[in-house]
A and B are shown apart, each in its own frame.
Chain A
Amino acid sequence: MRSTILALAFALLSGCAENDLPDYTKLSKLRVLAMPASAPEVSVGATVTVTPLVSDVGGGGRALAYEAVACIDPGVGLGAEPSCDHDPIAQDLGSGPVPGLDEANSFTGDAPALTVVVPPTALVGRGEADQSNGVGYVVIYTLTAADGETLTTFRRIIVSTRDAKNSNPDLVRILAGDDEFTALPSKNTELKAEAAPGSAETYSSITIDGRTVTDAEDLIFTWFYSRGKFDRYRTLEEGENEYNPPNDLQAGESTLIVVVARDGRGGEDYLRFDF
């Protein structure tokens, strides 16, 4: 417990400390910004499509290749490394090049979709609480650039028996003041993400001591950019984020903004703006 509190203190202190570490939401190197699934929570035997959103702004259009695999969660939430080495029936999701990232010269876009079939044995041996709350079926996605740089990303598809399954949030639009954000502003502008009503769902889960508790999702929006700067990495619903547009944009140069919405339970959606 003491280490938990200390870690929390250090995390908060490190946030306050001045440093020259790279900005999380500044797009420059090879990144996966999101891995939206057609359904974040399913029953055993379901088929799910996962479409990684890949960004390589600083890559200049270099060749990228992927390989993907899926398996029962090895216990990442308990500290295990995300890997499918433990699972003899791990599912090979294929490999190949990642084309089509040159849209508007931002080298950011959807990579080839992955089709995942959840095995019927995913919940075998699990207790009632695990079956109801769901067990993770992880999709591990590895990108390799031509120069050898690699990036591993994973997401979970929750496999459960409960009736009310989670769904992806619906990120409708970005507001600049009262207006919809459609053009690169010429001055500092407060932006706010707007999700469709019902995107933040209420859900029930069974605790490890057998109680049923009800909770509500918090939508968190992450603000990525290639030029300019945002004041914050993330905001909550109703939270505003000031965008400072670039003042040295030359003719032919572009600016990319991507806003990703997450519900904290695997649900994802995003909007992108190319200016």
Chain B
Amino acid sequence: MKKFLLLALLAAAPAHAADLKGVLKERGTRKPLGGVNIYVLPDKIKAVSDPEGRFEIKGVADGDFQWVVVLTGYERLERKDSTAIASQGEVELFLERSTYFGYETTVYGKQKKRDAQTKSLSREQFATLPGSGGDPVKAVQNFAGVNRAASFDAQVLIQGSGPQDTRYTVDGHEVPVIFHFGGLSSVIFPEALDRVDYLSAGYGPEFGRAMGGLVGVWTRPPQTDRYHGLGYIDIFNAGLLVEGPLTESKNHSLLLSARKSYIGEVLRPILDDNDDFNLTVAPGFADLTGIYQAKVTPRDDFRVVTLASEDTLEFLLKQPADQDPEFRGDFSTRTAFFRVIPQLTHRHSPRTTSRWSLAAGKSWIRVENEETFFRLGVHGFTFRGEVERKMVERKRLKWTMVAGLDNSYRWATVDLSLPDFQDAGGVNNPFSVGERRQTQVSDEYPEVGVFMRNSVEIGKLTLIPNVRFDHVGFTDEQYVSPRPAARYLLMPGLELRTAGGLYYQPAEEWQAAPDTGNPELVSPRAWHLTFGAEKDFRETTGHAFTLSGDVFYKALQKLVTSSTRTVERGGELVPENFQNDGKGRVYGFQTNVRYDQKPWMASLAYTIAKSTRWSSGRPEYPFAYDQTHLIGLIGSYEVGSWKFSSRFRYSTGNPFTPVTGGVFDSDNDVYIPTRGAFYSERFEPFLQLDLRIDHKWVFDTWILSAYLDVQNVTNRKNPEQVIYAYDYSKRTTLSGLPVLPTFGLKGEF
């Protein structure tokens, strides 16, 4: 029958016919579309595009005709043409996607999660998640159990732990900061990333030295199909990204990106009106990312990631600050780092793969205010390596083993002149009062981590007996940390899970230094235990819901607390500075409900938790970041080239220590606070509603996007900090960000 129709069509072909050539691409991105049927009407001639999107159609009758292309996920293409024009060269047909929200989707292979305690967001997910402005780390803050410390603090809090208990990594290697100043943006171009991972209670043995958890971003290989570019501009900053293949073979590719902020240039004219304040270097940040990828052999992939980031701010206080005369004169701060991270993945066999990476770089943190300064320079290497082998692959038994290293070696130089800073109960004494400490320290800080992960799948049960060994050089400690986990598939789509273990976190270097700290400190530690379940209704019912819930418990021991005691060390009476007598516990429940069926997406994250601390002589009190209820509700709706999204956040107000009075220090002209019961009062709850509208204009060869992002739409004054009268007889609160509208434009091809 088909042959008959074909013969009939050929017979009907006119004597004068044209041969047409063309290429089919995706509109806006120029991505070639292969394997697609292209029809010419009314001749009813069909061609199929090759992998490069090219096609050829012979015997089209002279005159006008119509192209018709239909492909799932794309708008139907109907375009009128004539053979006189179309036969003069290669015709370009552009097929428009049904939706363009999210960067162009390129699937690099689904990331198989090693454990249930690692939650990942792919680039497409974090780019489109409402309320995060496309930023990967801000998107993580939408997970249950995660919150930010303060509105202008960039730190991430994980399940009742402190901000200092979260580590940040790029491709598995630690970086000193993950956010630029004030939490405006993370330090790496979002579109250069493959995914962001969030590791919570019970996380696996590959990482350590963090009692709370870890936020890690992972870079992606540059695209090799063609050259791509992206540029954006908004009221805070602008950025540019280019990528593409370096050779015809496409075995080598490169991605380069850069961003720079100019918020300070906006602020400078406003602040320069102040007689006592002179903004000498406006607050700003810049970052650079380079990714080179080479397919060295069919078994070896080589990548080099180069990352640099800088945040700066300088101003002049012409007269002593009202609150504390210690603050006066030039103030400057600079946080910068760079890393060069070569990485090699070698597939030894279908069952064995090894991954090796080395990060070399330097970090600078400088805070200076006249005689008060802290200058830290850290050179160093971090090395990660792991070998993954599928030991057994039977129908009823699968065993995968991963053995690896997580080492670092750093040389740090600290030059500081700081008043001894007391913030007992989160209430700081005026800097003027603190005894000034001046020192210059250069030292080496070797750290060794060895880990082994095993995943033994026996039918529906997966046992994950993991262990990690750590050596902390500067405190000369060795630790073994068991971290077992298990999963059980109760029924299709419903998985039960548990995990736990021991987590050490070395004391900060300056806390254990002889001059500024206590060399007898040991590493604080936390025991984690978590149970949970996850139900994916999409697998069994076709409903677009996923639901998960976990209970978690953490016992914290040997926490570092400040000490005002004087002790004998080396035959002299010296300040103890710090001790290991802090303890704490955290327990809670968190749940995530997500509905995802286009054009709608909605997600609810809820956490209820209690986090407390205590030490000798100080009974149990709420932790500074004890947030009983955390609610995050996000939703979005897409219609045509418009997308509307919203985020609502609620959290119980942080506890704070009330100040009951003050004692006047006549030498320094300030009052010293008298603290009440630690963290016995709370701020008003934090509530914030954010709205965002995105619109895209899709042209044949590029896409223009515009967005309006309004944070804190209701202009709610969320109290973030208590400020007191000079003698602590009265108080008021300092509010977080007011309503903050941002407008931006982005072009990409």
Q: Which residues of A contact B (CB under 8 A)?
A: 1-15, 17, 19-22, 24, 31-32, 34-35, 74-82, 125-127, 130, 151-156, 207-209, 211, 213, 215, 218, 220, 222, 232-236, 239, 260, 262, 264-266, 268
Contacts and interface: CB of A to CB of B under 8 A. Distances in A.
Contact of B723 (A2, A19, A22, A80): A19
Interface in B301-328: 318-325, 327-328
Q: Which 4 A-B pairs have the closest CB atoms?
A: A77-B435, A79-B422, A207-B438, A14-B723
Interface SS of chain B: helix, strand, loop or mixed?
Answer: mixed
Contacts of B428: 3, 7
A32 B671 CA distance: 11
A32 B665 CA distance: 10
Given A78-B564, A79-B424, A262 B734 contact: no
Contacts of A75: 435, 564-566, 575
B666 A32 contact: yes
A220 B508 contact: no
A268 B367 CA distance: 30
A77 B734 contact: no
A15 B323 contact: yes
Contact of A14 (B333, B424, B439, B734): B734
Contacts of B732: 19-21
Contacts of B421: 3-4, 7
Contacts of A22: 725-726, 729-730
Query: For A1, A21, A207, A222, which residue has the most chain B Cβ atoms within 10 angstroms?
Result: A1
Given A13-B734, A262-B669, A1 B508 contact: yes
B639 interface: no
B513 to A, nearest CB: 10
Contact of A213 (B376, B438, B564): B438
A82 B672 contact: yes
Interface in B151-181: 152-153, 155, 163-164
Interface SS of chain A: helix, strand, loop or mixed?
Answer: mixed
A76 B429 CA distance: 10
Interface of B: 152-153, 155, 163-164, 276, 318-325, 327-328, 331, 333, 365, 367, 369, 371, 374, 376, 418-424, 428-429, 431-435, 437-441, 508, 510, 515-516, 562, 564-566, 572-575, 577, 663-669, 672, 674, 721, 723-726, 729-732, 734
Given A12-B321, A32-B664, A81-B674, 4 more contacts: A76-B665, A81-B663, A126-B573, A220-B320
Nearest to A221: B320
Contacts of A130: 573
Nearest to B333: A5
B434 A77 contact: yes
Contacts, number: 176
Nearest to A157: B667
A40 to B, nearest CB: 8
A128 B219 CA distance: 54
B319 A234 contact: yes
A9 B153 CA distance: 10
A213 B433 CA distance: 20
A262 to B, nearest CB: 6
Contacts of A4: 367, 374, 418, 421
Nearest to A232: B319
A265 B575 CA distance: 20
26 contacts: A1-B510, A2-B155, A3-B428, A5-B333, A7-B428, A7-B431, A13-B734, A14-B723, A19-B723, A22-B729, A31-B664, A75-B435, A76-B672, A78-B422, A78-B564, A78-B577, A81-B663, A82-B672, A127-B573, A153-B663, A154-B665, A208-B439, A208-B516, A211-B440, A233-B322, A239-B318
Contact of A82 (B420, B423, B663): B663
A125 B572 contact: yes
A126 B566 CA distance: 11
A264 B668 contact: yes
A79 B564 contact: yes
Nearest to B726: A24
A58 to B, nearest CB: 13
Nearest to B150: A6
A71 B424 CA distance: 24
A220 B329 CA distance: 12
A34 B723 contact: no
A35 B566 contact: no
Given A19-B723, A239-B319, A208 B669 contact: no
